[in-house]
Amino acid sequence: MSQALDLINLTLDDITPKVVDTILTSNVALQALQNRVVRITGKNKQYPVKYKKQGTGKSFDGFDLLNTNYVDTTAKLSFVPKNVDQPVVFADTDIASAQGEEAIIELVAYKVEESTQELADQLGDMIYSDGTGNSGKDLDGFQSAIKTSGTYGGLDYSTYTTLQATVD
């Protein structure tokens, strides 16, 4: 039984981290965005976007009449929250071969870390996509934002032309 535990420990401590690191470290966008997580409360998350200049400011002298007209310069991008999951799954054989409390804790820690990395990889893939995967349930990625026609966040590119991407 000691050899089986030694094999589990060797796999978890020395082999697996190297294998996982070479497979799941390619999503640069996710790494850049993960510190900018926004908690969504309510049905939609709205982001105000400035789409035109106010254009009412000017130079003046003395008692010149100043413009106090209001110009609406913002619109709101609106996004419906979407969900992503990655289960933590254990095979009966893994549980049966993990003898002792420490081995079970190591197995659970490994499986949770494995699922966390798989989820990060899945999110990273979605960030580069157009959001139409899985019948439109995938997150809206860069491809859904970087275009010149259609809508994004409920705003039409033909109306809010400053949202249009320059695609070469």
3-state secondary structure of 60: coil
Pure H helices in the chain: 2-10, 16-23, 28-33, 92-97, 101-127, 133-136, 142-145
111-133: pLDDT as tens digits: 888 888 888 888 888 988 999 99
Q: What is the pLDDT of residue 20?
A: 46
Check residues 133 and 37 and name the one with the higher pLDDT: 133
